[in-house]
Amino acid sequence: MSKNIAGRKREIQILSDALNSQRSELIAVYGRRRIGKTYLIKEYYRHSILFSFTGLSTGKRPEQIKNFMLKLNELTDEFVKQKLPVDWLEAFSLLKTFLKSIKQTKKKKVIFIDEFPWVDSHKSGFLAAFENFWNDYCTSRRDLVIVVCGSAASYMIKKIINNSKGLSKRITQTIKLKPFNLQETKAFFKYKGILMEEYDILKIYMALGGVAEYLEHVKAGDSAVTIIEDLCFKPSAYLANEYHEVFRSLFSDGSFHQKIIDSLADNRKRGMTREEILANLKISSGGKFSSAMEALIQSGFVLKYDAYRDNSKSTLYRIYDEFCLFYLQFMKPNKGAKWAQLFQKQAYKTWSGFAFETICLKHSEEIKKALKCDQIQSKNYSWSNSQAQIDLVIDRADDVVNLCEIKFYNDEFSIDAEYLKKLRKKESQFRSATATKKSIYTVMVSTWGLNPNQYSKAIISNSLNMTCLFE
């Protein structure tokens, strides 16, 4: 295992198994822009990569083929004087010729094709030629690991992972690379020599999320406020144009992706149904909208989750990407402003509550582990009616329901008589509406935990602080 990779234990195990298997492997890797896909593959396989090729973001077929051949000519002089291949079948034939000159051994050889979707432009013939390369040649050997990688999740899923033609059931492993969770973010900072308290890590995570490339620019010794100021608000800040660049690089012009995100940002507090999003955008349902929504979900920008209104189930959507939400809430409307001033306003406190709630939803397994119910089957959902709302319900198979009250606060949270009344009302409304016979226990999940008093002891079964999210 490379010492230069923080976290990614599951992904590293997949890559390791591929090196040790008795067959050639075809691995598909996808995830949003700047998440660390290329770094993971090149770093872990740095002693095994034989041929590596990255697609051009705007190149047409001749330029892509020329780029391919330039990389191949770095490895051998055999094709230097040869004319440029006329198509991808010919180009892959030359790669086969090169590989045939390499003796088969027990040690695996890695071929890495990065930004695969960029190469497979309309009528390029790239995908069909690659299918032929894998089926006709790679499967006849036992010493190859072929890794194909792309940021366009919808393409990777539809054309590669769920391919119904030449690659049908040919993918041997799939890696969906997600942003770092809080534990991995803490490990990443430690690897970078950045000593930081969990509270500051949490505040940075709420603004930037767990995107590796963003976190790479965090400097040791700076506070969360200074870091966000430098990366997001200063003139020529590194992330000043990132929001638009993300959508421009991943999704085609004129698509619904960015419009959906903008719509969800306007209704971020409770999420939106599909029908509400369509009405807000003033469009009708159709394949284009459905494809855009699915791509946003697969890329990690949008969360699709179950919600109950009284006892009626619905599906809601909300922004799941921390940076997108932070950009739309603060960066877009406050260009030229100072974060040192903005974070002291009420808008920050309101946003912090919602952002912390989203992070808790992402770390629901860590919450379950802290409650010692992670081995018990359960389902998560939100619940509301006209009189009460519950951020996270953990409905367990052992006849227990945990109602999670999520609070972002800069100190230990204190429950008073009025708040106790509010929590008891939530319990009674939930039991009445759902008619559940299960035991109901209210859990407080907050940044610094509870300040225990007579009121908290009367209602709270478990008090969890932010440390549980880092476990």
Domains of the chain (ranges plus CATH)? Answer: 9-176 (3.40.50.300), 182-240+332-355 (no CATH), 243-329 (1.10.10.10), 363-470 (3.40.1350.10)
Query: Global pTM?
Result: 0.89
Task: Output the pLDDT for position 52.
Answer: 97
Helix (H, G, I), strand (E, B) or coil at 149: strand
Task: Output the pLDDT for position 84.
Answer: 95
Q: How many CB atoms lie within 10 A of CB 410?
A: 10
Strand ranges in 287-446 using DSSP code E only, listed in sequence order: 302-309, 312-319, 378-384, 389-396, 400-407, 439-446
CA–CA dist 440, 395 (Å, integer): 9
- The structure tokens listed for 382 are 């939100």
Task: Output the pLDDT for position 258.
Answer: 86
Angle between helix axes 198-208 and 346-362 (nearest 10 degrees) is 90
Contact yes or no for 459/423 (Cβ under 8 A): yes
* Torsions phi, psi for 303 (to 5 deg): -105, 130
Taking CA atoms, 280 is separated from 143, 277, 317, 318, 361, in Å, by: 53, 5, 13, 14, 25
Q: Is the dihedral of CA 330, 331, 334, 338 positive or negative?
A: positive
Beta-sheet pairing, 312-319 with 302-309: antiparallel
pLDDT tens, the chain, 471 aa long: 466 888 899 999 999 999 999 999 999 999 988 899 999 999 999 999 999 999 998 889 999 999 999 999 999 999 998 899 999 999 999 999 999 999 888 899 999 999 999 999 989 999 999 999 999 999 999 999 999 999 888 889 999 999 988 898 899 999 999 999 999 999 999 999 999 999 999 999 999 999 999 999 999 999 999 999 999 999 999 999 999 888 877 776 667 888 899 899 887 667 899 999 999 998 888 788 888 898 899 888 999 998 888 888 889 999 999 999 999 999 999 998 999 999 999 999 999 999 999 999 999 999 999 999 999 999 999 999 989 999 899 999 999 999 999 999 999 999 999 999 999 999 999 999 999 999 999 999 999 999 999 999 999 999 999 999 999
Own/partner contacts of 223-230, CB < 8 Å, gap of 24 or more, are: 224/200, 225/339, 225/340, 225/343, 228/203, 228/204, 228/339, 228/343, 229/338, 229/339, 229/340
Task: Output the pLDDT for position 269.
Answer: 66
Contact yes or no for 423/387 (Cβ under 8 A): no
Beta-sheet pairing, 400-407 with 389-396: antiparallel
